[in-house]
Amino acid sequence: MYKNLSPGAIGIGANLAESVCLAREHGFAGVDISIEEVAQIAEAQSVEAVRALLGEVRPGGWALPLDWRAEESKFREGLAQLPRYARLGQAIGADRVTMWLLPYSDELPFAENFRFHVARFTPIAQVLADHGCRLGLEFIGPQTLRNGKRYGFIHTLDGMLALCAAIGDNVGLLLDAWHWYTSHGTLAELDHLTNAQVVYVHVNDAPAGIAVDEQVDNVRCLPGETGVIDLPGFLRKLAAIGYDGPVTPEPFSAKLREMTPEQAARTTAAALDQMWQAAGLA
C-alpha cells in the first residue's frame, strides 16, 4: 500500500498539475484524479501528456462520473459515457474507481433498496471490468446519519461485502477508518478480508470524548490526532492481507481548510507519516 493525496479531502482546490506537485513535494506516492479533467487534457493534448504530467506519481483513484441514482434514462446516458473514462483510466494506470452509498432510504425498504443497488451497479461494474478497472463502494457508518430515517440500509463492512459480491467480481470496499469505527467495526473482522476485497482506503481520526453513536460524519480529525481510532492496528491489518492500494487521509478538518495548500499538505503528510511509523510500516 502507498500514501495517497486527495487534495479535496483536506480542503485544497487544485488541478491535476497542482495536485501532482503537492504530492511530489510532500512525499505522497499517489494522487487522486478527476477523470473528467484527465479526459479534457487527453483530448486537448494526448494520453502521453497525461502520463508525463503524472510522472512518477501514481494515480490513486477517481470518483464514479455518473449519477447512478438518477431516473432510468439519465442513468443510461451517464452509463453510455463510462467506457471512454474507463479506457482512459486503464491507459494511465488509474484502475480504482470509488463511490459512497447512503446508509438509509426514506422510500425503499432494505430488500428493495438492495435490489436497486445491484441493478444499477452491475452494468457499471461490467463496463469497468471490460477495461481492467475495479469499483470500491464505501459504507457510511455513523448512527447519527440513520436517526430519523424511515429505512436503514447497509452501514457495515460485512453488509457492504454482501452487496459487492452480488454485483461483480471486480467490486470491493472503499474502506474508511472513520466509517469502520462508527459502525462498531473490530480489528478482528479485518483478518477475514483479502486484498481483492479492498479497492481503496481512507484514514482519519475521531474527536475524543464523544460516544461512537454520537459521532457526526463531517466532524473528524487528522490521522492519529486523538488516538480514538486505532489506526496503527488498522494499517497493520491491511499490510497483513497484502493490501496494495492507496491510503488516503480524509479528515474533513476545519483547521486544515484554514491553511494554505502547502501547509495543509505538509501537515497531512506528517500525520500520515507518524501513523505509518506507529504501525511499523516505515
The CATH number linked to 183 is 3.20.20.150
* Region 157-186 average pLDDT: 98
Instruction: Answer for the pair 142, 182: CB distance below 8 angstroms, yes or no.
Output: yes
Copy the grid coordinates of residue 172: 470491493
| Residue 186 grid cell | 473490530
Summary mean pLDDT of the chain: 97
Q: Specify the number of domains making up the chain.
A: 1
Query: Whole domain around residue 138: which residue ranges?
Result: 2-278
End-to-end CA distance of the chain: 12
pLDDT tens readout for residues 263-275: 999 999 999 999 9
Residue 165: the pLDDT is 98
Average pLDDT over residues 35-40: 98
Percent of the residues in the chain that have a pLDDT greater than 70, as a whole number: 100
How far is CA 13 from each of CA 6, 64, 280, rounded to the nearest angstrom? Answer: 10, 19, 32
140-156 confidence digits (pLDDT tens): 999 999 999 999 999 99
Q: What is the pLDDT of residue 92?
A: 98
Report the alpha-carbon distance of residue 97 to residue 60 in Å, rounded.
9
